[in-house]
Every structure is written in C-alpha cells, then in structure tokens.
C-alpha cells in the first residue's frame, strides 16, 4: 500500500511540476541567474501551505513531525556542493526524472551522474562522518524550539515573509 501511495503522490507531484514549468533547465538556472523566479514562486507557495497544514495537523494530534538533524558542517559543505552541481546540471534529484518525462533527454546524463554520486558518497562517507558531520551537530531542532516561542508565531511570520517576497517578485516583473 505504501508503494501505491508513493506512486500516486509522485504522479500528482509530477503533473504539478510539469504544469508550472519548474522542471525546465531554463527555469531552474534562470532562477539562479535571478532572471525568472518561477521555481521560487512554486516552492515558497508550497512551503507556506505546507507549514500551515503540517502544524495544524500536528496540533490536532494527527501527524508526527519528521525533522532532519542539524549539522552545520554537513549542511554548509553539503549545501555548497549541491548548489555548485545544481547550477551546472540545472535539475535537482526530484525534478530530473520529471524533466525526462517531458522529453528533456539531457536529464538522463544527470540521473546517471546522480547515481554515480550516490556510489561515491557511500565510499566517502567514513571521511565525512569523521571530519564534517560532527561539526555543529545539534540534532533534530526546529526554529520555534530554539527560539522558545509558540510555533504559530513563527508560521505566521514565515508566511508573511513569503507573501512579501511574492509582492517583490511581481513588482520587479520576475
């Protein structure tokens, strides 16, 4: 059943990504060149709705959060490496398959490269574990936790910031 949910969720997500044109190299790299904010509009809109929905369901006791651990070393170095690779590839792990689905066949090389990268990461893991992942390791923390204030205050501020950004994008015609 879990597999069927995965497939159904993926199909719906793939349709939304394709319809919003965020799968395209020109949109992804266009965003990084600050020429076209389509992918930021899609992503921030999803996050705003997601944040309200997730914390609502959590407060109703219907779901559990699944927080990824914070390691400043891992997220700074890993994030930087990802950013470099992403700007060259022009697709990310979730969108490369979708790009292939709409005929962008250069994504195949990106997918093969990512599989290769998966193998390399496994080889290099002992090094990263010994030297990087332990730097600034704070475990599974959220912004409301470290600030010690009610999560709804942060959700409202975050959503307000996202809406402000939308206003900025539209004003600048991005």
Partner 1 sequence: MNRKTWNPYIAGALAGLLLVLSVWIAGKFLGASTTFSRSAAVIEETVGIDTSKFEYFTTKKGKYGPASLPNWQLLFVIGIIVGSFISASLSKTFKVVKVPPMWAERFGSSPLKRGVAAFLGGAIALIGVRLAGGCPSGHGLSGLSQLAVSGFIALTFFFLAGLITARLVYNNRRK
Binders in 58-87 for partner 1, by CB under 8 A: 62-72, 74-87
Q: Quote the CA–CA distance of 60 and 4 in Å, as a whole number.
A: 26
Nearest distance in Å: CB 151, partner 1: 7
Tokens, residue 139: 């475990």
Q: Is 151 in the site for partner 1 (CB under 8 A)?
A: yes
Q: Quote the CA–CA distance of 157 and 171 in Å, as a whole number.
A: 21
- Based on the number of CB atoms within 10 Å of its own CB, is 99 exposed (0-12), middle (13-18) or buried (19 or more)? buried
Q: Please check whether residue 109 is in contact with residue 89, taking contact to mean a CB–CB distance below 8 angstroms.
A: no
Nearest distance in Å: CB 83, partner 1: 3
Residue of 112, 149, 156, 160 that binds partner 1 (CB under 8 A): 112
Q: Is 2 in the site for partner 1 (CB under 8 A)?
A: yes
Q: Quote the CA–CA distance of 174 and 137 in Å, as a whole number.
A: 37
Nearest distance in Å: CB 30, partner 1: 7
Nearest distance in Å: CB 75, partner 1: 4
Residue of 125, 134, 135, 156 that binds partner 1 (CB under 8 A): 125
Contacts to partner 1 from residues 9-68, by CB under 8 A: 9-26, 29-30, 32-35, 38-39, 41-51, 53-54, 57, 62-68
Contacts to partner 1 from residues 129-148, by CB under 8 A: 129, 132-133, 138, 140-144, 146
Q: Is 156 in the site for partner 1 (CB under 8 A)?
A: no
How far the first Cα of the chain sits from its last, in Å, is 42
Q: Quote the CA–CA distance of 158 and 147 in Å, as a whole number.
A: 14
Write out the H or E segment, with its range, that includes residue 71: strand 70-71
Tokens, residue 23: 């799968």
Contacts to partner 1 from residues 92-111, by CB under 8 A: 92-107, 109-111
Number of residues that bind partner 1 (CB under 8 A): 126
């Amino acid at each position: 059943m879990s597999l069927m949910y995965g497939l159904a969720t993926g199909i719906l997500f793939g349709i939304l990504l394709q319809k919003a044109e965020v799968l395209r190299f020109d949109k992804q790299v266009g965003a990084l060149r600050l020429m076209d904010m389509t992918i930021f509009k899609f992503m921030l809109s999803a996050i705003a709705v997601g944040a309200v929905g997730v914390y609502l369901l959590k407060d109703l006791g219907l779901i559990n959060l699944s927080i990824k651990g914070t390691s400043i070393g891992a997220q700074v170095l890993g994030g930087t490496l990802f950013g470099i690779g992403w700007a060259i590839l022009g697709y990310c792990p979730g969108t490369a398959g979708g790009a292939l689905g709409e005929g962008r066949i250069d994504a195949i090389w990106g997918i093969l490269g990512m599989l290769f990268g998966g193998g390399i990461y496994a080889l290099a893991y002992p090094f990263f574990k010994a030297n990087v992942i332990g730097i600034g390791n704070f475990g599974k923390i959220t912004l409301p936790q470290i600030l010690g204030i009610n999560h709804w205050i942060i959700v409202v501020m975050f959503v307000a910031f996202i809406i402000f950004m939308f206003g900025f994008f539209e004003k600048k015609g991005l």
